[in-house]
Amino acid sequence: MKTETYERLKGLYEKHKSREFGKLCQKFLAIAFRTAGYTHIEERGVQGVDFDAAKEGKGKYAVEVKTTVGKSVNFEQKDVEGLKRRKKDGYQPVLAVLRLNRFSDWILATADTIKPGNLYIDSLRVHRLPELGKCIGPLFDRVVEEHFDGAMREAQGYLDKVLRSKGMKVDWKGGKD
């Protein structure tokens, strides 16, 4: 990620704290997928897999997002089960991990064989989907730059409006919009 993106994300983390920060990154990532041409995106703010993204001829992904300032993330059994359910519908399970660090990038990893537990981030590199990462990474930088001010002001509320304006389905607090 660009240094500017890191600085913006750091500011969001300091203002909104870890839980809200993770949700903001989830929404930024969903917008990056949309920007990449994934036309069917369903983002879930509360329950289930964090979001689905599908692009004709390019695949369907069910994405579980984890963010941290540490060196590991907790991948729970409920995350594994949610991804398995989406796989039955033809979606490739993906674990997306971002460590808030100056030199970090998203790790977009195929989650089919990842076991639940406390996962050391560097261990996920062998599961990476490099082409997807190359596509989404630069778009994530652009999305954060474009929507940083709104996210600083209004947090998830702002990004939910952006998601809807781009034609994405947003589930909020368990209810459908």
Residue 34 to residue 53: CA distance in whole angstroms? 8
Quick: pLDDT tens for 66-80: 999 999 999 999 999
pLDDT band per the 50, 70, 90 thresholds, residue 174: very low
Quick: pLDDT tens for 107-144: 999 999 999 999 999 999 999 999 999 999 999 999 99
CB 22 within 8 A of CB 46: no
Average pLDDT over residues 2-19: 93
Domains and CATH numbers, the chain: 3-167 (3.40.1350.10)
pLDDT band per the 50, 70, 90 thresholds, residue 46: low
Kindly tell me if the per-residue pLDDT of 176 is higher than 50. no
pLDDT at 171: 72
Residue 141 to residue 6: CA distance in whole angstroms? 9
pTM given for the model = 0.92
Neighbours of 15 (CB within 10 A): 14
Residue 110 to residue 123: CA distance in whole angstroms? 12
DSSP 106-127: -EEEE-TTPPSEEEEGGGGGGG
CB 124 within 8 A of CB 133: no
pLDDT at 175: 36
